């Protein structure tokens, strides 16, 4: 797919897309700017990038008023990423694919759902996903392909899929 970044997503710092090259000081600075209580957890660079993109949608509204971060489990087992308090209050999983293609997004979601199910942690049912493809736009073709996720993955179905793109947040209607 020929995805191109959109200029509509200019509030994200340019270095946010080089998350793997951040030093400890930059990571700590970015965590502090988000204003979230991470409970001792240190989110991955791609998670920080996605949180920054989510914050950029409403710069005057603190991110802490929208989500509550869920620290990773002490035993390394599956957990959710955050409670989306401004949406439905439910636990959500966040994914940031390197390549915003149907296959890449589908594989990330399927692996996450399957891993949680196989680990049999009762409180962790991964069925709500926020997928950050910013700074790319959600094309009609990708939207259609993502809407078919449950059809293509009958043993790893999900309930909700929201895409964060250069154009903002959009819930994808799952078939």
Q: Where are the domains of the chain?
A: 14-171
* Residue 170, token pair as written in the block: 């959009």
* Residue 85, token pair as written in the block: 């308090």
| pLDDT: which is higher, 2 or 72 | 72
Residue 109 scores a pLDDT above 90: yes
Q: Which CATH number fits domain 14-171: 3.40.1350.10, 3.40.1350.120, 3.30.390.30, 3.40.190.10?
A: 3.40.1350.120
* Residue 138, token pair as written in the block: 């959600």
What are the tens digits of pLDDT across the range 17-37? 456 678 888 888 998 999 999
Angle at 94 between CA 44 and CA 123, to 5 degrees: 105
Q: What is the mean pLDDT of residues 125-130?
A: 96
The continuous run of DSSP H or E covering 32 comes out as helix 24-34
* Residue 67, token pair as written in the block: 């989500």
């Amino acid at each position: 797919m020929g995805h191109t970044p959109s200029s509509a997503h200019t509030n994200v710092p340019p270095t946010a897309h080089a998350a793997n090259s951040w030093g400890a000081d930059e990571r700590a600075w970015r965590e502090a700017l988000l204003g979230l209580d991470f409970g001792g957890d240190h989110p991955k660079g791609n998670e920080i990038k996605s949180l920054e993109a989510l914050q950029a949608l409403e710069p005057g509204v603190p991110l802490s008023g929208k989500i509550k971060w869920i620290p990773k489990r002490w035993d390394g087992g599956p957990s959710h990423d955050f409670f989306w308090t401004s949406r439905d209050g439910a636990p959500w999983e966040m994914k940031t694919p390197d390549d915003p293609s149907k296959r890449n997004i589908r594989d990330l979601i399927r692996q996450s759902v399957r891993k949680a199910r196989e680990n049999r942690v009762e409180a962790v049912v991964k069925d709500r996903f926020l997928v950050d493809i910013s700074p790319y736009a959600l094309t009609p073709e990708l939207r259609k392909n993502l809407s078919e996720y449950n059809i293509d993955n009958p043993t790893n179905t999900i309930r909700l899929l929201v895409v964060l793109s250069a154009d903002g947040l959009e819930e994808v209607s799952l078939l």
